[in-house]
Amino acid sequence: MKIALSIDEKYEAPTVNLKGGWNHIVTDFKSFGFSEEATRVGRKNLQWTLTSSEKDFGGWVIFDNLRFQSETINSNQLFESWESNVLWGVSNESIVTEAAEGSNFQDRNAMKISFDFSKYKRPIVFASLYRPWNLVKVKKLNFDVFVPQEAENKLNLNLFLNSGGEKFKTMERVLKPGWNKVTVNLESIRLPEKARKRIEQIEWHLLSSNEKLVSWVVFDDLRFE
């Protein structure tokens, strides 16, 4: 397994060989070989890469209790325990997710997604659900999306629900500047009952006719009706 931290370039720590059972892994930040600029600016992405010498190997691993250790008072701070049932991932390392900050997002537990279409043509943000959703009794999915003025009429959004290895497109919408209130009517789409009972992943796909668009959006308040 390789661990990498990214700013404008990627820094990799030495490879770790995983054994059967729990592996307690400690990575010294000095092993990444950061430049002085990287140390000063800070890190944007953390990435784990799993590799195997066997081509047809299949299996699984479990991650738990990501901690930071330092010489400060919070010397063993728990950063992520992976106990939440919604953990957001991205389709490319050029896409950055972070907590939304600013006057438009006060009192909101919202997620900001930054992207660069010149680096990646189809940004995707997804969540593999720890506990699959049963949407049999759910009529609508609602959520809010904030778009900055710079992306006016340049962004489209698709929402997909995945179940049993199949992907079901639920909507496509042009996003306007400011807050967009989006409603997905589950009763008007082709979503088989078997899939509706067990939604295993949700995906947001961003599309743009401007291949050089560099911007961001904020997602908030995903809810059922």
Q: Please compute Rg for the chain using Cα positions.
A: 20
> The tokens of 53 are what?
């010498």
For the chain, list residues with pLDDT below 70: 1-9, 34-45, 70-86, 106-107
pTM of the model: 0.65
> The tokens of 194 are what?
């078997």
- Residues 161-216: pLDDT tens digits? 999 989 999 989 999 999 999 999 988 888 899 999 999 999 999 999 899 999 99
Asked if residues 110 and 99 have their Cβ atoms less than 8 Å apart, the reply is yes
Neighbours of 197 (CB within 10 A): 13
Of the candidates 47, 51, 74, 39, the one whose C-alpha atom is nearest the C-alpha of residue 63 is 47
What's the burial of 61, exposed, middle or buried (CB within 10 Å: 0-12/13-18/19+)? exposed
Asked if residues 129 and 202 have their Cβ atoms less than 8 Å apart, the reply is yes
Residue 45 is predicted with a pLDDT of 64
What's the burial of 218, exposed, middle or buried (CB within 10 Å: 0-12/13-18/19+)? buried
Residue 73 is predicted with a pLDDT of 45
Residue spans per domain, the chain: 2-80, 88-224
Domain 88-224 has CATH 3.40.50.970: no
